[in-house]
Amino acid sequence: MKMQLTEIANAVGIEEVPENWQEITIANVEFDSRKVQPNSLFIPLKGQRDGHEFVENAMKNGAVATLWAKDHENVPTGYPVLVVDDPLETLQKLAVYYLGKINPKVVAITGSNGKTTTKDMTAALLETEYNVVKTEANFNNEIGVPITLLNMNANTEVVVVEMGMDRPGQLDFLSKMAQPDTVVITMIGEAHIEFFGTRDKIADAKLEITHGLKEDGLFIYNGDEPLLRERSKQVEQQQYTFGSSAADDLFASNVQSARDHTSFEINLVPDQTYEIPMIGKYNVMNALAAIAVAKAYHIDPAKVGDALKNFQLTHNRTEWVRGSAGELILSDVYNSNPTAAKEVLASFSQTEIKGSRFAVLGDMLELGEQSDLMHASLANYLDPKLIQDVYLVGTHMKALEQALKAKYADDHIHWYTVEQENQLVEDLKEKLTNQDEIVIKGSHGIHLEKVLSGLQNA
């Protein structure tokens, strides 16, 4: 972004400002004082600590102005301060203003699984013909979405916005803020079922992403999901489905998985094979969602194949890395839920291998009363002939440990508390060789990235 501080003040409802503010140009906004860049506008938000405590630090790091909540006393006087009712609401208001100023096409993506991967794929396809900005990392909430919008340059033609949710009404708010031209729902799973109770209610909440969809917009969704098929009747805008069935507008066939890639064909382009640098049929579904967006934006089909094959995946999403013993590690440590875990285990079990396979599985959080049952259900996707040892981390994984005793010998099932992750690393290092493979997957709150890091360090 690039705006005069005077324009920003006016955009958020502050009309009378000092004349010298016209000489101050804001190049970006930031709410973390440690990440402030030159010419930043600092946004002091309330988290575990109050962001107002870090204003001085932000100014030392390069910020040239700050917001300040009017219910906070001792307003600073040594630099430009915009006194507002609520800094978060002001950030959101500024994002809406800037969105209208730049006026790009907006693609909004949500789903219980796959939204970050789909976002990355979609941006890669659109970048072949447009100037594109996308959500960085998982900045997909009430703070992240406006930050994404304010990260646009003046020449941005399309912005790809990931939208997450953990409660009803959240996607309604985010969608109405971003006013998308295209919305995508990747799938309905069990993520956050603790807060919603049923998959039906999760589907209701996911459909909120269509609430801000422009009248001439496009709704793209997974047509294999009955809950979405049923609810799509509530949406008046144009619709397009993807999936694995001939009943879908776009569907895949001849799906072939290898260790580091998956190939497939689609009904729209006969005799052409597409490839993605990831394992799993579930990631083919994410690719189909991205291809559907690309079709809507008239991307040259000849460019789609190369862009999918070479797209850059957000860190820690089903990526292969090497451990210190030379073992191959399938890292998927950012998040987990039953649907995603089952898909990863199914794909991992089919890789070509000379040695043994090992699985490290951490608790899947926010599953509510059904948690033990859902953890135990993973036993159906663990076969001792295919995955020789299973390492479980966290309280909820006790249920899976019990379920596995009907299939695995006791010395091939290993359970640890979260505090015992260092011991887990040591136990794994004693067994792993350069012929072996290991998958690591768990909810982010279990922090299995520590296990990954431990295995990578000699």
Provide the angle, in degrees to the nearest 10, between the axes of the packed helices 301-310 and 115-126: 130
98 contacts 1 by C-beta, under 8 angstroms: yes
Question: Where in the chain are the domains?
Answer: 3-90, 104-310, 319-456
54: left (phi over 0), alpha (psi -120 to 50) or beta: alpha
pLDDT tens, position by position, 63-97: 999 999 999 999 999 899 999 999 999 999 999 99
12 contacts 94 by C-beta, under 8 angstroms: yes
Query: Which among 32, 58, 29 has a CA at the least distance from the CA of 45?
Result: 32
Supply the pLDDT for residue 458: 66
| Residue 112 counted as an annotated binding residue | yes
Specify which residues 413 forms β-bridges with.
390
In CATH terms, the superfamily for domain 3-90 is: MurE/MurF, N-terminal domain (3.40.1390.10)
Supply the pLDDT for residue 328: 95
pLDDT tens, position by position, 179-202: 999 999 999 987 767 678 788 999
User: Which of helix, strand or coil describes residue 6?
Assistant: helix
| Residue 232 counted as an annotated binding residue | no
Supply the pLDDT for residue 316: 60
| Residue 113 counted as an annotated binding residue | yes
How is residue 188 written in tokens? 């309905």
Q: How far is CA 343 from CA 230, 280, 332, in A?
A: 24, 7, 12
276 contacts 261 by C-beta, under 8 angstroms: yes
289 contacts 186 by C-beta, under 8 angstroms: yes
Which ranges in 20-132 belong to alpha helices (H)?
Answer: 55-60, 87-102, 115-126
How far, in Å, CA of 132 to CA of 202, rounded?
Answer: 30
**Into which CATH architecture does domain 319-456 fall?**
Alpha-Beta Complex (3.90)
Q: Could you tell me the pTM of the whole model? A: 0.90
Query: Which among 415, 124, 435 has a CA at the least distance from the CA of 291?
Result: 124
Provide the angle, in degrees to the nearest 10, between the axes of the packed helices 199-206 and 170-178: 20
pLDDT tens, position by position, 110-134: 998 889 999 999 999 999 999 999 9
Alpha carbon 302 to its chain's center: 27
Residue 10 main-chain phi, psi, to 5 deg: -65, -40
Q: How far is CA 119 from CA 37, 125, 210, 211, 289, in A?
A: 26, 10, 17, 20, 9
- Amino acid identity, residue 364? M
322 contacts 456 by C-beta, under 8 angstroms: yes
pLDDT band at 138 (very low <50, low <70, confident <90, very high): confident
| Residue 47 counted as an annotated binding residue | no
| Residue 223 counted as an annotated binding residue | no
| Residue 13 counted as an annotated binding residue | no
pLDDT tens, position by position, 234-243: 999 999 999 9
How is residue 347 written in tokens? 């794909």
Supply the pLDDT for residue 225: 95
Name the CATH code of domain 104-310 (choices 3.40.1190.10, 3.40.640.10, 3.30.70.260, 3.30.1360.120).
Answer: 3.40.1190.10
Supply the pLDDT for residue 254: 95
Supply the pLDDT for residue 125: 98
| Residue 356 counted as an annotated binding residue | no
pLDDT tens, position by position, 375-411: 999 999 999 999 999 999 999 999 999 999 999 999 9
Query: Which among 360, 327, 363, 386 has a CA at the least distance from the CA of 439?
Result: 360
Supply the pLDDT for residue 335: 83
Alpha carbon 422 to its chain's center: 28
Query: Which among 340, 338, 409 has a CA at the least distance from the CA of 371?
Result: 338
Burial class (CB in 10 A: 0-12, 13-18, 19+), 230: exposed
